Amino acid sequence: MTDQPTDFPELNPDDPTIDMWRTPIENLQGNRPPGLMNVNRYPFALASHGIATFLSRPIALTPADLRAAQVEVAMLGAGLDFSGGLRGTGYGPRALRAFDMYLPSVTTGLPHAHTRVDALEELVMCDYGDAAIDFESTHRSIEPIRGLVREVAETGAMPFVIGGDHALMYPDVAALADVYGKGKVGVVHFDAHYDAARLGIGHNLTHGTPVRRLIEQGYVSGHNFVQVGLRGYWPDDEDLAWMRDQGFRYHFMAEVERHGWEHVMQRAIAEASEGTDHLYLSLDIDVLDPAYAPGTGTPEPNGLTPRELFPLLRRLGAETNLVGVELVELNPLVDPTYVTPLVANRCVREILTGIAMRKKGITEPHYLAPEAVDHGQG
């Protein structure tokens, strides 16, 4: 380093706004009884109307709300926006809230077509608002995000985080390890990239390094990392050797090319449930081919199709013990076609359908409703 020292330190402790972004407004609970709150006046409206919440669910703001309503899945936004390439990933949560495009809001009785299971009917869900983000620093955002995710998980609700860039995987998984124990949570990680880089231009946590940090800190063992969809020009030989040393179970697109998707899906399902009772699903939208998901910071051709990805997402919900989910790297600002928020919405719905199937006891491998899959076949 030949730089001369900077004239001032990074942070000014005398600035009264230094923690403003992470200090909640006073008395969130107010005088209302704890529980879920509907923020819309009418039960039936187009998604273009009303106040947008994730899947038009009611909102909750405190752990007392979650406990009082016995919430099973709490969706929350975490708009980290530092390392997703082109900026705009911070708008991912807002895009998803606004994008239940083809369905009326606050409505149930519309089951998933292929399983006939209605996740919105089966699950007690809410929008838990957004995590505090220091929009000048990934590092300073880690603990507030981790605290909010832990707060949800401690009530027994499943945190379902909408990002935001993939640096989120670190606070999200660390929070679940806080609740379930170090080494007790496995991760199924869908991504074009391995996100376990040893290098990050000096930064310990970027969207390219959360996996490396989680393993180094002992939150997850390499053996309990199942990666699906890798391709492109990472990792380099040194990092790939490290992944093999750590016992990663990774699945490059080369494996799909050689053995087919069904083979990879079977292996991923089997590996996901091996060695741990608690599973975290980390879905980087760039695992999909850019034809289906161009709205992301680091698109990589030759990815999965929705027809491949959706059943595996659903199966992980139905056939494994998910304790948390994140969907990351959705950047609506670089996709004027809106196809990326649409496909992200459907990814969320596939996962929720699987979770609802499990709650109903439908856990047989790759269940599809007979009336959907076998109609007219004798």
97 binds Mn ion (CB under 5 A): no
The H or E element that residue 283 is part of is strand 278-284
284 binds Mn ion (CB under 5 A): yes
How many whole angstroms separate alpha carbon 215 and alpha carbon 325?
18
Beta bridge partners, 227, equal: 189, 250
- Per-residue interface string for the shown chain with Mn ion, residues 136-175, x marking contact by CB under 5 A: ------------------------------x---------
Q: Please, which contacts does 1-4 make with residues 24 or more away whose CB atoms are closer than 8 Å?
A: none
Q: Stretches 81-89, 110-118, 276-284, 357-365: which one binds Mn ion (CB under 5 A)?
A: 276-284
How many whole angstroms separate alpha carbon 238 and alpha carbon 291?
31
How many whole angstroms separate alpha carbon 33 and alpha carbon 224?
41
Among 100, 134, 172, 195, indicate the residue that binds Mn ion (CB under 5 A): 195
Owner of token pair 């880089």? 197
Instruction: Kindly state the number of chain residues that form the binding site for Mn ion, as judged by CB under 5 A.
Output: 4
**How many Cβ atoms sit within 10 Å of the Cβ of residue 346?**
14
Q: Stretches 93-101, 143-151, 172-180, 186-194: which one binds Mn ion (CB under 5 A)?
A: 186-194
Nearer to Mn ion, 126 or 133 (CB): 133
Among 81, 127, 172, 191, indicate the residue that binds Mn ion (CB under 5 A): 191
CB of 294 to Mn ion, least distance (A): 16
Q: Using the 8-state DSSP alphabet, how is residue 94 labeled?
A: H
Nearer to Mn ion, 91 or 170 (CB): 170
Q: Stretches 7-15, 112-120, 195-203, 353-361: which one binds Mn ion (CB under 5 A)?
A: 195-203
Nearer to Mn ion, 71 or 197 (CB): 197
Nearer to Mn ion, 85 or 183 (CB): 85
Phi, psi of 78 (to 5 degrees): -145, 95
300 binds Mn ion (CB under 5 A): no
- The one-letter code for the residue type at 175 is A
CB of 286 to Mn ion, least distance (A): 7
**How many Cβ atoms sit within 10 Å of the Cβ of residue 339?**
14
Nearest to 227 by CA among 195, 250, 261, 245: 250
How many whole angstroms separate alpha carbon 178 and alpha carbon 182?
7
CB of 133 to Mn ion, least distance (A): 18
CB of 130 to Mn ion, least distance (A): 20
Nearer to Mn ion, 111 or 171 (CB): 171
Nearer to Mn ion, 272 or 330 (CB): 330
301: tokens are 């051709």
CB of 114 to Mn ion, least distance (A): 28
CB of 268 to Mn ion, least distance (A): 17
Nearest to 179 by CA among 206, 202, 146: 146
Q: Using the 8-state DSSP alphabet, how is residue 374 labeled?
A: S
Which residues within the stretch 2-61 sit at the binding site for Mn ion (CB under 5 A)? none
**Site residues for Mn ion per CB under 5 A:** 166, 191, 195, 284
